């Protein structure tokens, strides 16, 4: 079974924040359908529902719309949209290598594209079972269960190279991976629940402390790891994931299943999709806002600027959320094509 980790919410969104914080939903500016999308700012992308369906989010917060479907290169059979969405990692048909597809303005051109614009990653696993991006998308971890290989690719997307292939010591299948932006620290969870960490060129060793991660994320440009723990119903910060530092409690009585940290490394967004609750926590002051929704929120995905998210739900269309430096949340409707 294929798994895709990145590691997240809808107009008619029904947001309410606790404590009392006003959440304003701004309707999109009215605009006719654009016949030429090139030249319009790209906020990010949204994938699906079809396996190879990709649409750009064009404009600015408060005046954004979803583009016509982007033409995916003909050789692509599967794509993984990277963290921060400046590129996608793609699998190809036949014996084609794993490759990078840069998501620049040219993808908005309305024509079929060949695979000529794809950049192969030499030696990378062509069909990984598990793909995990670092917070800024600057590195990526690949895992193939049949061959029991784990690769860490650094320098994404412009100077990609395989930085290390740490040998796996446990026979158990890896089910979760987190990797730092510099590709130096990798943390894994396997099917029996064991957590291992590898730093630099060192072998694996157990993560200090007992954790049952439901979701996790490194803080951008750091080796600090945030874990949502399903056993303790809490969110913890481990400063230097390979250390024996005491953990910091960020939130209690909560079990978010999706985590993301804004690009400046200052605000944590944590979504509990079962209860439609979003926590936003200032990682310096540890102050938090709690946002609830009448909708069934199921995903929250960070866009290019690092503090805006596209939010979807099971019962409403997508909307945009912006997180301020004070961890407050503002919502804006997303216009049609």
Pair 218, 181: CB distance under 8 Å: yes
What's 227's domain CATH number? 2.130.10.10
Residue 173 tokens, joined: 């299948």
The total number of residues written for the chain in this structure: 337
Residue pointed to by tokens 């004070």: 326
Sign of CA dihedral 143, 149, 151, 157: negative
Tens digits of residue pLDDT in 52-102 = 999 999 999 999 999 999 999 989 999 999 999 999 999 998 789 999 999
What does the pLDDT read at residue 32? 38
What is the three-class DSSP state of 108?
helix
Q: Tell me the residue range of the domain where 54 lies.
A: 3-333
Residue pointed to by tokens 């014996």: 95
Give the best-scoring range by mean pLDDT among 56-70, 97-111, 313-327.
56-70
Average confidence (pLDDT) over 276-285 = 93
Nearest residue to 263 (alpha-carbon basis) of 136, 139, 157, 155: 136
What does the pLDDT read at residue 22? 31
Tens digits of residue pLDDT in 135-192 = 999 999 999 999 999 999 999 999 999 999 999 988 999 999 999 999 999 999 999 9
What does the pLDDT read at residue 95? 82
What does the pLDDT read at residue 114? 63
Report the side by side order of strands in the sheet with 213-218: 213-218, 225-229, 234-238, 248-252
What is the three-class DSSP state of 106?
helix
Tens digits of residue pLDDT in 212-256 = 999 999 999 999 999 999 999 999 999 999 999 999 999 999 999
Pair 256, 213: CB distance under 8 Å: no
pTM score of the predicted model: 0.87
- Domains in the chain, number: 1
């Amino acid at each position: 079974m294929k798994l895709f980790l990145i590691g997240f919410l809808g107009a008619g969104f029904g947001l309410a924040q606790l404590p009392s914080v006003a959440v304003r939903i701004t309707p999109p500016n009215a605009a006719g359908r654009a016949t030429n999308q090139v030249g319009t700012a790209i906020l990010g992308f949204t994938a699906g529902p079809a396996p190879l369906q990709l649409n750009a989010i064009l404009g600015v917060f408060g005046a954004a719309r979803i583009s016509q479907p982007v033409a995916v290169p003909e050789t692509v059979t599967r794509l993984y949209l990277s963290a921060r969405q400046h590129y996608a990692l793609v699998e190809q048909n036949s014996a084609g290598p794993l490759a990078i597809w840069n998501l620049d303005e040219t993808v908005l051109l309305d024509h079929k594209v060949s695979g000529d614009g794809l950049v192969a990653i030499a030696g990378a696993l062509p069909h990984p079972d598990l793909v995990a991006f670092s917070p800024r998308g600057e590195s990526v971890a690949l895992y193939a269960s049949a061959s029991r290989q784990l690769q860490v690719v650094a320098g994404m997307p412009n100077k990609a190279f395989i930085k290390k292939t740490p040998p796996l010591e446990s026979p158990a299948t890896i089910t979760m991976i987190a990797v730092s932006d510099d590709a130096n620290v990798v943390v894994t969870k396997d099917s029996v629940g064991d957590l291992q960490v590898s730093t630099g060129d060192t072998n694996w060793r157990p993560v200090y402390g007992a954790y049952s991660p439901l979701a996790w994320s490194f803080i951008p440009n750091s080796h600090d790891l945030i874990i949502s723990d399903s056993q303790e119903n809490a969110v913890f910060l481990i400063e230097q994931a390979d250390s024996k530092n005491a953990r910091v409690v960020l939130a209690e009585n909560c079990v978010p299943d999706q985590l993301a940290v804004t690009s400046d490394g200052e605000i944590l967004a944590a979504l509990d999709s079962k209860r439609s609750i979003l926590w936003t926590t200032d990682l310096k002051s540890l102050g938090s806002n709690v946002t609830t929704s009448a909708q069934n929120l199921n995903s929250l995905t960070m866009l290019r600027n690092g503090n805006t998210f596209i939010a979807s739900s099971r019962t409403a269309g997508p909307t945009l959320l912006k997180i301020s430096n004070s961890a407050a949340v503002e919502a804006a409707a997303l216009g049609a094509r």
